[in-house]
Amino acid sequence: MTIPSRVKLVDVGPRDGLQNEKQPVPAAIKIELVHRLQDAGLTEIEVTSFVSPKWVPQMADNAEVMAGVQRKAGVRYSVLTPNMQGFEAALQSGPDEIVVFGAASEAFSQKNINCSIAQSIERFRPVAQAALEKGIAVRGAISCAVGCPYEGEIAPERVEMVARLMRDIGVQHVGVADTIGVGTPSKVQKALEATLKIYGVDHVSGHFHDTYGMALANTLASLQMGIWNFDTSVAGLGGCPYAKGATGNVASEDVVYLLHGMGIDTGIDLDKLVDAGKFISDFLQRKPNSRAATALLNKRLG
């Protein structure tokens, strides 16, 4: 498989990145972040999630954020909807795509949502069907596709099973997520190979966390298989609340630097992306968790 000449990134910073922040982030800041990301050339942005504010208080302003975003033509705005209640609420805000998720680990599924993998995905069937009937795209995320904090290594067959279950309920595109960031290139390739038995290469994404510093290596290993869709998070925001010590998603800035350095087109303006990351990092009163952003910001000072 030849390396793709173009790559599409979904920035999950506003949702996956901010949902674990302890300090409240006002809706106005989240809206501004989305605006900065789309101005930087991102065409896919995961904006918020419609979950119970009891579980994720940071996302309680979901409707306000969606209503406040000045939408740009050609940009797809997605939201996470874990159940029908969340979907009904999300519907009012007109998302272009909804996201559902299932773990490739039984232990993670039980500890996270108190049910088996098969049960968890079956719960999404009415959500996926309702979305498709309304012409809303449905994306799925396979979490813990490489490793689990409770079970350890995950067999590729398990990933294939989750991909098949997702396809059966109507999920159109799946992300293979190394939720706790333990993956290495060969393990990630095996998880992707398992998924590619069920979905075509155009409908599979890589979603890598950088806990052990492997996210860029795993991105490169995925590119070598022809994967051209990736989830990234501006300024490396985010983590996993269920995985102790798991650092954030791979920084969008680092992935864009890698891709541009390989002559791969992203349609993204790296300088504007760095500015977006600095904006949210300044609000959170910390430095961007991105090597490329740090280097470029230091260079500007020079």
Q: Catalytic residue numbers?
A: 240
Q: How far apart are CA 198 and CA 184, in angstroms?
A: 22
> What is the distance between the alpha carbons of residues 89 and 60, in angstroms, rounded to a whole number?
12
The torsion defined by the Cα of 104, 110, 115 and 120, in degrees rounded to 10, comes to: -30
Separation between Cα atoms, residue 96 and residue 91, nearest integer Å: 10
Give the C-alpha distances (Å, rounded to integers) separating 2 from 190, 198, 260. 18, 20, 16
Nearest CA to 169 among 106, 203, 104, 120?
120
Amino acid residing at 263: G
Label residues 121-136 b or e (16+ Cβ within 10 Å = b). bebbeebbebbbeeeb
Cβ pair 156, 190 in contact under 8 A: yes
